[in-house]
């Protein structure tokens, strides 16, 4: 009877028997999909490319029979470490797999139950769709059972089945008490309505009922979202003989194909996907939810480790700063104060972090708040990733929640606008279209190009394109410039209003001047040159602002001179026109006009703004009359000569080299001449 049990493993309804037999013959029970599989071209006959991938993870106290139950269900022993086999308990993640109903490839992750190895349990559960909570009927709910339930709830898992294992060891009354104990333990959690199924991994009692419950959960599981850019937290790293680096894990977003380029973060190692295996089968594409092994060309496996991330290039960046939505467990052993030290578990990473509270001095058990975690080392975590916080010592779970996004720097405290923005981004984790809108709005008047938008939203380019079209169709966003930067109309309108307000304030205080210098306005607005130019251009097009040389003014405003001010302006204008192509400096003009340099500069600004003078390269000032004289002299000369070097123009332009070069460069910029290798010719239209 015992031998019969060991060779005739229970099979779920719909599992392809041929596949089970092939895999039993080909794979030792102690091997898992991540135990250095050969990267071959073999494809099992019953692994269709459109098959859905579902991950089931076990949870529960040590010695409650999780690994044995997985082996009974799948025909494979998920335990892969000799230490685990010797000690009879799971230390690291174990993996088994099978095909269910010909439509689903099920990956079963057996996670550790021993308290010391909860960090591995967090790593495994982060990719789980369905939880199989195993409780021994003869032992009941134990401390690690409760902690696993808390962690699974914090990780946002939605479905599960409760298996009352070892039911063959207890009588009916004890079994009923164990079931009631289990229901009490999961009250108020995602498992509250989960079926409780008595089962025996040893005798196979209740396996049909367990498969029925698991089957219903499998059918109800939604497909993984593949809109996001590819990202896979690394669980294992090794070198396959003759093949090179192999990195394994469960992708949490996107998809990757043979030949795709990837980057390993942190470290920025770049590689190319040479081979992909999922559950011992070579495949061409891995998607979110696959239990995946990637053979990467160009990657040094010794420079990679668990906790690193394989990702699509140009989208993700490691960070030490993450905004998060944190929920402290109601049974948390202590209040968490601002700047508390915690252990941060996300994906396959475990990092010491400092809790930086943004709107309070402490968070109490049962409370939820948006805050920042500042890590000792940079990691990659994506929007919506679930995390767990534990005490560094003793290792007790405090709470957990959801990553809002990576931040560049430490966030300010007590900033209402920031908290409102973080709340919006937290909502956008499950709404890609909202991510796009928020990223464009947050970019302000500078707008955002498509590459930076992909980084800000963590979306693949192919998924981003239709979302951009949706946003443009709403009319709140427009494209601008050759890069087709996306700009929110409200942000542009606010920038234009600020521009007009700054110029208006200047006019009110300086009625005689034509307007403030553009550079001064740009500095006050805090915009880069490209963004400022686009805002000014939009304001000019709308008739709100006029460009007056290097000045900006409002239509009908500025330039109201008193009689004395007009005399000063005219005196300086006369000095400029008299000097023609050898203009005086500011100091010389001030001395000639009998004024200080500030008054003289105001007069120059007026002349430039009214078009009677122009400042060329290096601050050289010419009157409009002198520039027209130079333009006519140059065009007449070149019509005769055809082409000329810079020194040749001294024949027609009575000036020194100090002024000649800026004049010639000005004529190039104005489209009068063309400079090719130091020889100037007239442009055809000149």
Domain containing 122 — which CATH number? 3.40.50.300
CA 40 → CA 22, 53, 552, distances in Å? 16, 21, 68
In 3D space, the residue among 281, 208, 237, 174 whose CA is nearest the CA of residue 11 turns out to be 208
- Please indicate, yes or no, whether residues 302 and 444 belong to a single structural domain of this protein: no
Q: What is the dihedral of CA 297, 299, 301, 307, to 10 degrees?
A: -110
Beta strand 269-278 with 281-282 is antiparallel
- Does the pLDDT value for residue 175 go beyond 50? yes
Residues contacting 183, CB < 8 A, separation 6+? 192, 196
Residue whose pair of structure tokens reads 């199989």 in the numeric block:
132
Residue 207 lies in a domain: yes
- Please indicate, yes or no, whether residues 474 and 531 belong to a single structural domain of this protein: yes
Given pLDDT bands bounded at 50, 70 and 90, which one contains residue 24? very low
- Does the pLDDT value for residue 187 go beyond 50? yes
For the chain, the helix, strand and coil percentages under 3-state DSSP, each to the nearest 5: 40, 25, 35
DSSP 3-state of 196? strand
What is the pLDDT averaged over residues 588-604? 90
- Answer yes or no: are the C-beta atoms of 335 and 301 closer than 8 Å: no
Residue 503 lies in a domain: yes
Residue whose pair of structure tokens reads 């489209």 in the numeric block:
671
Residue 282 lies in a domain: yes
What mean pLDDT value characterizes the chain? 85
Residues contacting 193, CB < 8 A, separation 6+? none
Residue 617 lies in a domain: yes
Residue 225 lies in a domain: no
- Does the pLDDT value for residue 199 go beyond 80? yes
User: What pLDDT does 120 receive?
Assistant: 64
DSSP of 113-148: -SGGGHHHHHHHHTT-SEEEEEEETTT-S-HHHHHH
- Does the pLDDT value for residue 163 go beyond 80? yes
User: What pLDDT does 77 receive?
Assistant: 61
CATH number at residue 289: 2.40.30.10
In 3D space, the residue among 311, 317, 128, 151 whose CA is nearest the CA of residue 233 turns out to be 311
For the chain, how many structural domains are there in total?
5
What is the pLDDT averaged over residues 37-49? 38
Residue whose pair of structure tokens reads 């420079």 in the numeric block:
303
What is the pLDDT averaged over residues 630-645? 93
Q: How far apart are CA 280 and CA 33, in angstroms?
A: 6
Residue 395 lies in a domain: yes
User: What pLDDT does 1 receive?
Assistant: 37
Under DSSP, the state recorded for 585 is: P
- Please indicate, yes or no, whether residues 442 and 556 belong to a single structural domain of this protein: yes
Residue 242 lies in a domain: yes
Q: What is the dihedral of CA 231, 265, 442, 466, to 10 degrees?
A: -30
CA 487 → CA 435, 458, 475, 494, distances in Å? 14, 19, 11, 12
- Does the pLDDT value for residue 113 go beyond 60? no
- Does the pLDDT value for residue 616 go beyond 70? yes
- Answer yes or no: are the C-beta atoms of 389 and 398 closer than 8 Å: yes
- Please indicate, yes or no, whether residues 374 and 508 belong to a single structural domain of this protein: no
- Global pTM reads 0.72
5: enclosing H helix or E strand: helix 2-7
Most confident range, picked from 33-37, 124-128, 442-446: 442-446
Q: Which residue has the higher pLDDT, 446 or 165?
A: 165
DSSP 3-state of 360? coil
220, 251, 269 - which closes a domain? 220
- Please indicate, yes or no, whether residues 411 and 343 belong to a single structural domain of this protein: yes
User: What pLDDT does 115 receive?
Assistant: 53
Q: How far apart are CA 212 and CA 190, in angstroms?
A: 19
* Residue 636 buriedness (CB in 10 A; 0-12 / 13-18 / 19+): exposed
- Does the pLDDT value for residue 41 go beyond 70? no
pLDDT digits (tens, 9 = 90+) for 280-335: 788 999 988 778 899 999 999 999 999 999 999 999 999 999 999 999 999 898 99
399, 425, 451 - which closes a domain? 425
Given pLDDT bands bounded at 50, 70 and 90, which one contains residue 393? confident
What is the pLDDT averaged over residues 363-382? 96
For residue 370, say if its preceding peptide bond is cis, omega within 30 degrees of 0: no
Q: How far apart are CA 153 and CA 136, in angstroms?
A: 21
What is the pLDDT averaged over residues 158-184? 95
311, 338, 355 - which closes a domain? 311
DSSP 3-state of 472? helix
Buried b / exposed e across 344-377, counting CB within 10 Å, b at 16+? bbbbbbbbebbbbbbeeeebebebebbbbbbbee
- Please indicate, yes or no, whether residues 88 and 149 belong to a single structural domain of this protein: yes
Beta strand 368-379 with 261-265 is unpaired
- Please indicate, yes or no, whether residues 393 and 248 belong to a single structural domain of this protein: no
In the numeric block, which tokens belong to residue 327? 């929920």
Most confident range, picked from 89-93, 285-289, 323-327, 582-586: 323-327
Residue whose pair of structure tokens reads 């960070």 in the numeric block:
319
pLDDT digits (tens, 9 = 90+) for 208-266: 999 999 999 999 998 877 788 999 999 889 998 888 899 998 898 899 999 999 999 99
- Does the pLDDT value for residue 116 go beyond 60? no
- Does the pLDDT value for residue 15 go beyond 80? no
- Please indicate, yes or no, whether residues 521 and 605 belong to a single structural domain of this protein: no
Residue 634 phi, psi (nearest 5): -70, -45
Domain coverage including residue 475: 431-560
Report the DSSP beta bridge partners of residue 465.
none
In the numeric block, which tokens belong to residue 516? 């403030």
pLDDT digits (tens, 9 = 90+) for 511-557: 878 899 899 999 999 998 888 998 999 899 999 999 987 889 999 89
- Please indicate, yes or no, whether residues 420 and 456 belong to a single structural domain of this protein: no
- Please indicate, yes or no, whether residues 286 and 351 belong to a single structural domain of this protein: no
DSSP 3-state of 679? strand
Residue whose pair of structure tokens reads 């006029």 in the numeric block:
546
- Please indicate, yes or no, whether residues 177 and 282 belong to a single structural domain of this protein: no
In the numeric block, which tokens belong to residue 539? 């304001």
- Please indicate, yes or no, whether residues 445 and 406 belong to a single structural domain of this protein: no
User: What pLDDT does 337 receive?
Assistant: 96
Given pLDDT bands bounded at 50, 70 and 90, which one contains residue 85? very low
Q: How far apart are CA 441 and CA 476, in angstroms?
A: 10
Question: What percent of the chain lies above the pLDDT cut of 70?
Answer: 87
User: What pLDDT does 50 receive?
Assistant: 64
Residues contacting 149, CB < 8 A, separation 6+? 59, 133, 185, 186, 189, 191
CATH number at residue 444: 1.10.10.10
Residue whose pair of structure tokens reads 């000329």 in the numeric block:
644
Residue whose pair of structure tokens reads 């335990």 in the numeric block:
79
């Amino acid at each position: 009877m015992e031998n019969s049990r060991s060779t005739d493993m229970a099979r779920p309804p719909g599992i392809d028997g041929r596949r089970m037999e092939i895999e039993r013959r080909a794979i030792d029970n102690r091997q898992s999909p991540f135990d250095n599989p050969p990267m071959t071209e073999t494809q099992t006959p019953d692994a269709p490319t459109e098959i859905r991938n579902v991950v089931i993870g076990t949870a529960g106290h040590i010695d409650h029979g999780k690994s044995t139950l997985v082996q009974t269900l799948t025909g494979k022993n998920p335990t892969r470490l000799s230490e685990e086999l010797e000690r009879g308990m799971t230390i690291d993640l174990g993996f088994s797999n099978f095909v269910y109903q010909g439509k689903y490839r099920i990956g079963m992750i057996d996670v550790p139950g021993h308290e010391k190895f909860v960090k591995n349990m967090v790593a495994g559960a982060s990719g789980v769709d369905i939880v199989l909570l195993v409780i021994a009927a003869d032992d009941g709910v134990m401390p690690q059972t409760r902690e696993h339930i808390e962690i699974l709830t914090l990780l946002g898992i939605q479905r599960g089945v409760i298996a009352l294992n070892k039911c063959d060891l207890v009588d009916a009354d004890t079994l009923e008490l164990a079931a009631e104990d289990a229901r009490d333990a999961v009250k108020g959690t995602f498992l509250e309505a989960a079926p409780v199924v008595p089962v025996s991994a040893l005798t196979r009692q209740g396996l049909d009922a367990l498969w029925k419950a698991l089957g219903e959960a499998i059918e109800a599981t939604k497909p993984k979202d593949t809109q996001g850019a590819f990202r896979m937290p690394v669980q294992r790293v090794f070198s396959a003989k003759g093949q090179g680096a192999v990195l394994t894990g469960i992708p949490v977003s996107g998809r990757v194909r043979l030949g795709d380029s990837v980057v390993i973060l942190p470290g920025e190692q770049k590689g190319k996907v040479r081979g992909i295996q999922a559950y011992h089968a070579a495949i061409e594409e891995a998607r979110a939810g696959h239990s995946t092994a990637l053979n990467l060309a160009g990657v040094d496996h010794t420079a990679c480790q668990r906790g690193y991330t394989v990702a699509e290039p140009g989208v993700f960046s490691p960070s030490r700063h993450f905004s998060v939505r944190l929920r402290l467990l109601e049974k948390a052993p202590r209040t968490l104060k601002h700047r508390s030290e915690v252990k941060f578990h996300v994906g396959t990473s475990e990092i010491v972090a400092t809790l930086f509270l943004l709107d309070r001095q402490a968070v109490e058990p049962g409370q939820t708040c948006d805050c920042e975690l500042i890590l000792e080392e940079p990691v990659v975590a994506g929007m919506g990733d679930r995390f767990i916080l534990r005490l560094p010592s003793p290792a007790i779970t405090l709470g957990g929640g959801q990553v809002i996004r990576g931040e560049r720097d430490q966030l300010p405290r007590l900033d209402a606008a920031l908290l409102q923005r973080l709340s919006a981004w937290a909502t956008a984790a499950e709404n890609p279209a909202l991510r796009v809108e928020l990223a464009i709005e947050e970019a302000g008047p500078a707008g955002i190009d498509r590459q930076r938008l992909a980084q800000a939203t963590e979306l693949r380019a192919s998924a981003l394109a239709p979302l951009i079209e949706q946003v443009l169709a709403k009319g709140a966003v427009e494209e601008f410039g050759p890069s087709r930067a996306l700009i929110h109309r409200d942000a542009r309108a606010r920038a234009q209003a600020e521009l007009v307000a700054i110029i208006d304030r200047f006019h009110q205080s300086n009625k005689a001047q034509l307007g403030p210098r553009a550079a001064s306005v740009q500095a006050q607005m805090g915009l880069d040159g490209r963004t400022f130019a686009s805002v000014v251009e939009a304001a000019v097009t709308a008739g709100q602002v006029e460009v007056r040389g290097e000045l900006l003014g409002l239509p009908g405003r500025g330039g109201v001179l008193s009689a004395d001010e007009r005399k000063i302006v005219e005196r300086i204008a006369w000095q400029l026109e008299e000097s023609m192509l050898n203009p005086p400096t500011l100091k010389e003009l001030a001395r000639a006009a009998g004024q200080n340099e500030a008054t003289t500069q105001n007069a120059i600004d007026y002349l430039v703004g009214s078009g009677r003078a122009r400042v060329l390269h290096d601050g050289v000032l010419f009157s409009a009359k002198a520039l027209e004289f130079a333009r006519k002299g140059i065009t007449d000369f070149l019509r005769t000569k055809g082409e000329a070097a810079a020194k040749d123009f001294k024949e027609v332009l009575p000036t020194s080299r100090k002024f000649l070069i800026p004049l010639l460069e000005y004529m190039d910029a104005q489209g009068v001449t063309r400079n090719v290798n130091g020889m100037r010719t007239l442009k055809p239209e000149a």
